[in-house]
A and B are shown apart, each in its own frame.
Chain A
Amino acid sequence: MNLKRNRKLLIKLSVAISFLLIAAILLTGCVSGMAPIGWSGVSIGNNGMAYAGSKEGKLVAINLTNNAVQFSDALKIPPATGLSCASSSGSSGSACGGAAPAVAIYGDPAFVTDVPIIGNTVGNIVVVAGYNGVVIAYDASNPRTIVWQYPINGYLKPIISGVTVSDRTLYFGCTDKNVYALDVTRGIEKWRSTLGDQIWSTPVVDNNLVFVGSFDKNIYALDAGSGNKVWSFPTGANTVSTPLLADGVVYVGSLDRNLYAIDEKTGQKKWSYPAGNWFWAKPVIVNGVIFAPNLDGKVYKLDINTGKPVADPSDLGGQVSSWPVVINNQVIVATQNGKLLSLDTANFSAGPNLISSIVQNVSAPLAAVGSIVYINGPDNNLYTYNISNGAKTTISLKQ
């Protein structure tokens, strides 16, 4: 009798606990993007290959002649610092999604030519930074061969910023508050500059100055040779987006909902323009007009000299967090609600044209070669759309 009763109790208890566990997991953070997944874009090399960070934490090389994955290599998962998705370590998806643990890759890989690979052999490398806090340079012809990695041992804090290469130096920001400059041929640190808070924005370089936004509510110009601060420009909130440089002016959006134009040399504000939500994506400039996507679902079209709107903003009906590209004098934009749209740069008042319906929640920067736009989707597929003839392909990055 007692045995029977205990069994019944055990069953009831198991059901209750299971229900509670499932309910809690479904209803809390794991459904709300607690785990870092990554939104790496695509880098197109001059060797007929495209390189992208996959949602499985791998650098994937795709042969563009046959759209086949040629190589891939998984970024190393750092030792766990937490029990599950609450952890800020590099691994993701371990406890929440049920997927295999993987390193999130946020920044686009960088393709660098003419780098000594083995001995005196000169070749191309592709460099990628991961949420595991490691920057790795692979042989571009075989991404299973690591040319160098930084740091050689251990891990930095998670890297969300992309990498930029200029004058044989590689720059990236880190959530440890530092901007790093490495010798791109050997991965040796040249300098690091400590700012006030973590850095998500990808540094950009012009006229021996490195421009980067920080979570300390400032935009910085650093000396590219030494890392010393040249000027800082205060904004009302943190900066996530990557600055755009044109004709001696830094254009950068902030989480204070403003787009700023700052003189590159002096750090003085030229103008600012307020919008309805955060400026997250890097804008583009066409014919003297800056096209700045905003998370309010609109693309603002402003005169680059005055900051005045040249037309009403184009309402795309969905947030834009991925960087647009320019193809055939059209601004190509992907929205979070699954639309690939084009904006006319000859007639600013014209509404957006729908090119195609695409996968939802695209956050990766778009890339373009000729009339083909490349989209690294959140579903671990790489999509290509030919703007001229409407041809589409889907390449699975799953390995």
Chain B
Amino acid sequence: MNLGPWDIAMLQWMINLLIALSHFLFNNFGLTIIIFTLIIRFVLLPLTLRQLRATKAMTTLQPKLMELQKKYGKDKQKLAQEQMALYKESGVSPAGCAIPMVIQFPIWIALYQAIILVLAVSPEALLNLSRYFYSWALPLASLPMNNNFLGLNLAEGNAALAVVVGITMWVQQKMVTPTTQDPRTAQQSQMMLWMMPIIFTFFSLSFPSGLALYWVVSNIFSIVVQYFVTGWGGLNFSFRRGSKESGSDRDRKLKKRLAVEEAARKEIANKSSDDAEKEGIDDGKSGDIRENSGGSDQKGSNPIKRWFGRG
């Protein structure tokens, strides 16, 4: 009744589903939020996986992109051409990271708007909720929802749950934060790694803890999915090499390892160039990193191609 397109397309069905679900979950709204969040996240799983795979592929390409940047930094047109060629060859689309996220974003927004509406934290909110009911018989006996869940009042902010939101978000962010040689990017990544959890912790304190519960469940789901797709990612060093290493120690080791790899790559490149000269063959591509790339991108063993071949 007097609902806008967004309400009809996104909120109405979610709200009715939440209410119906709570009926089968012992009128426990905390449990309903958990199950409902998991259902939505499972439905969106194909998009999430696609996004994670694309992000992983982009991360793997980072060293090559950096090299291209160094090589063609002054010639923007050539740089763009080479980057496109690299993307094409690797089967990676830069839009592949963003599009699934853009598609999921409205659903996430609708999900927590629906949770807020069903929580009905004020008399106006309860009255407003009635606009969203379908005409078929809904189990309305539980409305407004019982907001108590494991001793929490889901309609009020909760400091402990807000901290859990921050921690889970930090872990999730840490897993997706790429290790990079570019100090500016590294600094930005570090900022985002800390700012996002801080902001969401603040939001969790300010908004009903039912929302915080949604964020916690959603974050844990993301962590699990990311673990199976990309492994521990940015958490590698902390978990595998012991947590006593400081960030700067790790950075120094990473730089040292990358320097060794760089030297090895140059050596291989020089050697193959000498061999070609000796054989009187020069195909003019001896400096092209697409042909001479070192590390994990040896011919026939491109992990990106293998990954996408699987997907």
Contact = CB atoms under 8 A, between A and B. Distances in A.
A257 interface: yes
B170 to A, nearest CB: 16
Contacts of B211: 28-29
Nearest to B143: A255
Contacts of A29: 113, 116, 121, 125, 207-208, 211
Contacts of B144: 215, 238
Interface in A244-268: 255-257
Given A20-B199, A88-B155, A32 B113 contact: yes
A372 interface: no
Contacts of A277: 130, 133
Contacts of B126: 240
Nearest to A20: B199
A68 interface: no
Contacts of B141: 217, 236-237, 256
A319 B144 CA distance: 19
Contacts of A85: 121, 206-207
A237 B143 contact: yes
Given A17-B199, A277-B130, A9 B206 contact: no
B181 to A, nearest CB: 16
Given A12-B188, A217-B141, A236-B141, A280 B127 contact: yes
Q: Is the interface of B mostly helix, strand, loop or mixed?
A: helix
Interface in A1-43: 5, 9, 12-13, 16-17, 20-21, 24, 27-29, 32-37, 39
B125 A34 contact: yes
Nearest to A81: B156
Contact of A27 (B109, B117, B153, B188): B109
Sort chain B's interface into a size bin.
Answer: 35 or more
Interface string A50-68: 0000000000000000000
Q: Is the interface of A mostly helix, strand, loop or mixed?
A: loop
B155 A32 contact: no
Interface string B131-147: 10101000011011000
Given A34-B122, A280-B127, A13 B113 contact: no
B123 A256 contact: no
A5 B135 CA distance: 58
A21 B207 CA distance: 13
Interface residues of A, number: 55
A24 B205 CA distance: 13
A88 B206 contact: no
Contacts of B113: 27-29, 32
Interface in A60-109: 81-88, 92, 95, 104, 106
Contacts, number: 127
A21 B199 contact: yes
B211 to A, nearest CB: 7
> Quick one: which of A32, A87, A237, A337 has the most chain B CB within 10 A?
A32
Contacts of A95: 206
B133 A9 contact: no
Nearest to B162: A83
Contacts of B121: 29, 34, 85-86, 88
Contacts of B1: 295-297, 318-319
Interface string A291-331: 00001110000000000000000000011010000000000
B124 interface: yes
A32 B128 contact: yes
Contact of B208 (A86, A160, A276, A319): A86
Interface string B78-98: 000000000000000000000
Contact of B140 (A33, A86, A255): A255
Contacts of A33: 122, 124-125, 127-128
Nearest to A276: B135
Interface of A: 5, 9, 12-13, 16-17, 20-21, 24, 27-29, 32-37, 39, 81-88, 92, 95, 104, 106, 160, 200, 215, 217, 236-238, 240, 255-257, 276-278, 280, 295-297, 318-319, 321, 336-337, 363
12 contacts: A13-B188, A13-B191, A17-B195, A20-B199, A34-B208, A35-B124, A86-B157, A86-B209, A236-B141, A257-B140, A280-B127, A295-B127
Which 4 interchain pairs have the tightest Cβ spacing?
A: A33-B124, A29-B116, A36-B122, A33-B125
Interface of B: 1-2, 109, 112-113, 116-117, 121-128, 130-131, 133, 135, 140-141, 143-144, 153, 155-157, 184, 187-188, 191, 195, 199, 203, 205-209, 211
Given A29-B211, A200-B123, 16 more contacts: A12-B188, A29-B121, A34-B121, A34-B208, A35-B124, A36-B122, A37-B122, A83-B205, A86-B207, A88-B155, A88-B156, A104-B123, A277-B130, A295-B127, A295-B131, A296-B135
